[in-house]
A and B are shown apart, each in its own frame.
Chain A
Amino acid sequence: MLNALDKLMLEKVADLHEIPQGAFNIRKNGSGIQRNTTPNIDIVTKADKSGIDVIIKPYTKGESVHIPVIVTEENINDVVYNTFEVGEYSDVLIVAGCGIHNAGHHKSQHDGIHTFFVRKGAKLKYVEKHYGQGNGEGQRVLNPKTIIEVEEGAVVELELVQIKGIDQTKRDTEIRLMDNAKLVVTERLLTYKDQQAESNIIVELFGADSSAQIISRSVAQDDSKQVFYFDLVGRNKGRGHIQCDAIIMHNAQVLSTPRISAHHSEAQLVHEAAIGRIESEQLIKLMSMGFSEQEAEDTILNGFLK
């Protein structure tokens, strides 16, 4: 059964107020505690290692899969391998996410290794939210790895969000796009205190007329550190655009390494990157509408990370 803390975690990482509709698998402190499947979506526990296979039948439309993970104990080191088979011409939403409540002194860690096969003509929206809380000194660590194969004509929208409470994260994302496949990645990251976050996103445009757009926005506060590495690889005729923006505050550090690699004369690749403080003109504008300086700052940051 889910207690109040579990429910709070689920709300933070999956916007869930109740047990979700449709297929779901809830994992708590290293083991699955609740599961539901539908006629179109099956969830099977892996036999050889920790994790699940999520199998979505071709032509499944308008269904969702929630696979939240909650960690409420200290000294947990949970590694999980999940594989998603998104059938041809299906149109689904998958919401993953991990909430860690660590009130202890020892580290709690969850490493989710997710592999997606998005079949021909399918549409997938994948949302991954990370959230941590707890007053203990124990570190809250999340190291997700996401590998996505996007087949011909498929469309993938990826939303990666980490707004609060994760002390250390290293996120690796690798995506391969086939003919006419389309990808949009939006990444939102906020770090504060002495948190550290690293995000590596590699997108390969394998197929002709594939396209990718990566929009990364982050805010680094206090003594936190963020390291970004983006590589957009054009191996065929296609278009790719990376746009990364960071707002830096206090004593934070942001290191961003942009890379665009063309291996084909008709690959069009663009990279835009900017790191800067909140513009004083933005603060002045909101203050001249009656906001305090703090309210103005919060409003700007909330909008930026939305």
Chain B
Amino acid sequence: MLELQKVSLEIEGDTSFEILKNINLKFHDKKIYVVTGPNGGGKSSLAKIIMGVYNPTSGEILLDGQAITSLTITERARLGIGYAFQSPPRFKGIKVKELLKMAASHNPEKVNICDLLYDVGLCAQDYLNRDVDASLSGGEMKRIEIATVLARNLKVAVFDEPEAGIDLWSFQKLAETFRDIHVKYNTTIIIISHQERIMELADEIIIMSNGAISAQSERDIILAGIMNNGDCACSTKCVKGVGQNAECVG
């Protein structure tokens, strides 16, 4: 189980800004969580604080009861935490197959690199020998990024908006892939997403806004709530909600 206890993150600037406010979350084993909510609500910061890219200003992070708050990215990775970037970096001179082999190098199971590419909707023969550089499109990079996480045997896998740049045709395949790794490795999966189809995979949905958890519950309850709210995600009450038949006269 991954647990966040009273986790806060402040960025110091001219005026300090609190990105995450006193977050308490428990991610239980073998469950799929989807974190959603408005842009700028703190979702990506939550992912980065789990991976160790950011260190919390206060609070504790525990993996299976062990405090990992002070551990580095590498140490957390070796304990079985993985993270798929929202905007994956590119590497000049490194081939797709090399990157995937590196990702799989700590996995005790033998990983078939071609299967990994197939799982993210890419044809192995077209991609294995290509460089992971600017010659790949944004969508191709996202798929390879997801494959680098699938290559590992993880306790916790965090995906930051995996659907961004992926066409609808491949979407179903992606959803199946998440289900598959979940079953294969018993991985706890945390997906940051705005997509209803991804949310449908979730056991639980967490809504974040303004750096705090505004709702957390089973999927169906949250989804029903979102639908009732029409198209409005404002943090304060407003009159624009279509579902509320508000008059919007300019």
Interface residue ranges, A against B (CB under 8 Å): 217, 245, 279, 281-282, 284-293, 299-300, 302-306
Contact = CB atoms under 8 A, between A and B. Distances in A.
Contacts of A286: 102
Contact of B77 (A282, A288, A303): A288
Interface residues of B, number: 25
Contact of B91 (A282, A289, A291, A293): A282
A282 B77 CA distance: 15
Contacts of B182: none
A191 to B, nearest CB: 18
Contacts of A291: 74, 77, 102
Nearest to B106: A290
A16 B98 CA distance: 26
Interface stretch (B20-28, B80-88, B163-171, B218-226): B80-88
Interface of B: 51, 53, 72-74, 77-78, 81-83, 85, 87-89, 91-94, 98, 102-103, 105-106, 148, 152
A284 B85 CA distance: 10
Contacts of B74: 287, 290-293
Contacts of B98: 303
A281 B162 CA distance: 17
Nearest to B73: A287
B103 to A, nearest CB: 5
A290 B53 contact: no
Contacts of A305: 93
A245 to B, nearest CB: 7
A303 B53 CA distance: 23
B89 A282 contact: yes
Contacts of A282: 89, 91
Contacts, number: 61
A152 B194 CA distance: 58
Contacts of A217: 92-93
B92 A287 contact: no
B93 A288 contact: no
B217 to A, nearest CB: 30
Given A281-B85, A299-B102, A303-B98, A287 B72 contact: yes
Given A289-B103, A291-B102, A299-B102, A284 B73 contact: yes
Given A288-B83, A289-B148, A300 B77 contact: no
B105 to A, nearest CB: 8
B185 to A, nearest CB: 15
Contacts of B88: 285
Given A282-B91, A287-B77, A288-B81, 4 more contacts: A282-B89, A290-B77, A303-B94, A304-B93
Closest A-B pairs by Cβ, 8 of them: A303-B93, A303-B94, A281-B89, A287-B73, A290-B77, A290-B106, A306-B93, A282-B89
A300 B92 CA distance: 8
A245 B93 CA distance: 12
B77 to A, nearest CB: 4
21 contacts: A281-B85, A281-B87, A281-B89, A284-B53, A284-B73, A285-B85, A286-B102, A287-B72, A287-B74, A287-B77, A288-B77, A289-B77, A289-B82, A289-B103, A290-B78, A290-B105, A290-B152, A291-B102, A299-B94, A304-B92, A306-B93
- With a 10 A CB-CB cut-off, give which of A279, A287, A292 has the most chain B CB atoms: A287
B82 A303 contact: no
Given A293-B74, A299-B102, A303-B98, A288 B92 contact: no
Contacts of A306: 93
A246 to B, nearest CB: 12
Nearest to A291: B74
Nearest to A301: B93
Contacts of B77: 287-291
B82 A288 contact: yes
Nearest to B84: A288
A22 B103 CA distance: 42
